[in-house]
Structure 1
Amino acid sequence: MKRIVGIVCAAITATLIVACTTSPTGRTQLMIISPESAIVESKAAYLSTMQSLDEQQKLVTDPTTVKRIQTITGRLVTEAVARYPSSRNWEWSVAIIDDAETLNAWCMAGGRMAIYTGIISKLDLNDDEIAQIMGHEISHALANHTAEQMSRAIAINMGVTAVGVASDNSGIALSATAIAAQLALQLPNSRTAESEADRIGIELAARAGYAPEAAVTLWQKMNKQGGDRPPEFLSTHPSPGNREKTLQALVPEMKALNPQQVKAAVHAITIVQ
């Protein structure tokens, strides 16, 4: 039995050693699952989540809101595709989730996004601030952060599977990637990944024609909402003071990238309804 556990652990270690890649900012990333596999599994998790929300009638269909979010995300994705050609064939889509209490938004591998009505209404966000949120979330996908999240979940699952093998419990050996894809919707990104998404996101929004100053006002609003207990969206983010200083320092550089005229969206975005 010890020999079996040793073989499993050795396989896990070998996987961890060879599974390294580099993020858009030059950071070394540990990958157990490939970005391509993350996209496949994320699609399944996303569709399952959307089906559940549809059954609960939680998907917003109001034409004004839909048009607003579709325009903002369309402009951001146009820039994302221009700078990251590998995302050109992603199935870009966005769901607007009717949840007045949740301050959150996300983008999975493959460009499947969601934003909650609560973050828009509670913070009284303008279009520039929404663009900063969605630019940040899109950056998570572009930097393969979903694959990183899934890799962490798989690493844990591998350990559980090793125990299952040792105890002859085959029921523990579940589909690692399917579990990880579901967990990627729930697990927070690391602080390093959040800082990376801040940097990529503010540039993406600026190139799409949205005011970079909105990145600062957005987080000021988020921090005020937090009180003694920060919103879920801020749970693993860098400290508020450091974040604002970092973003503020980037504003002059980003303003130089800001186009003189507002760019129209070129890439079509599917609205999940």
Structure 2
Amino acid sequence: GGFDKAGLTLGLKAGGYWPNNLEKHDIINHQSTVFLFDPDTGKAKAMVGGNLLTALRTAAASSVSIKHLARKDAKVLGMIGAGHQATFQLRAALKQRDFEKVIGWNYHPDMLPNIEKIATEAGVPFEAVELEGMQEADVIISITSAFAPSLMADHVSPGTHLACMGTDTKGKQEVEAALLARATVFTDEVAQSISIGEAQHAVAEGLIKESDVHQIGAVINGTHPGRGSEEEITFFDGTGVGLQDLAVAAAVVDLAVEQGIAIEVDF
């Protein structure tokens, strides 16, 4: 839950993970709903399905980090993970630079056609690689639910921008902690990054400190310079925050009302 004072948006997101949904009910395992309230009265204002919105805002977050931190001449986009969410990440990322190639790795290689299809639709060639092949990438997005690192520090070349979007729980880990020590680290919420995000492991091992993790918002508003050189590795730890859910839900409600497709009910 939260309150956006600038946008006057008050609300909460309720959700969870039901592991048997896909198998038994043919719906995705993650289920969520966003509830918005009138900030002046507290009265319920809207109920919005959160599944698609969560996918879109997660993709938007990594895309924003690419916009502000990746090298302008980035040509090769690397994808680690090829599940449902990876397709959203890839589609959004391809709009940020003139990528000439997408390379991908997944623990289950038979899922790679999911992201190959998105690349092909965008007219960008796709190649499946081993993790060592990520050294070719200028931008890497990881979107897995792993509890052990797959991407190692020596898999990443100088000048790369990484957006790690899968770690949102204590114990999860997508990349080797030593990689964060080589990078300039940014996040959406520092407290979450160091406790449940990708930075939790590097902080616990003493490789970086809380003060080494910077807000992505500071880059956007110009109070942090962002990328400092062509050789610098930049790292975005996307943990996901309630403000993102409320902002996207409020925008969707406004659009639905404007287009006459919102369903009004007495409550």
Q: Same fold (TM over 0.5)?
A: no
Of structures 1 and 2, the one with the larger relative CO (CA 8 A, separation 6+) is: 1
State the TM-score bracket (shorter-chain normalisation). Answer: under 0.3
Higher helix share: 1
Question: Structure 2 length normalisation: TM-score?
Answer: 0.28
TM-score (norm 1): 0.27
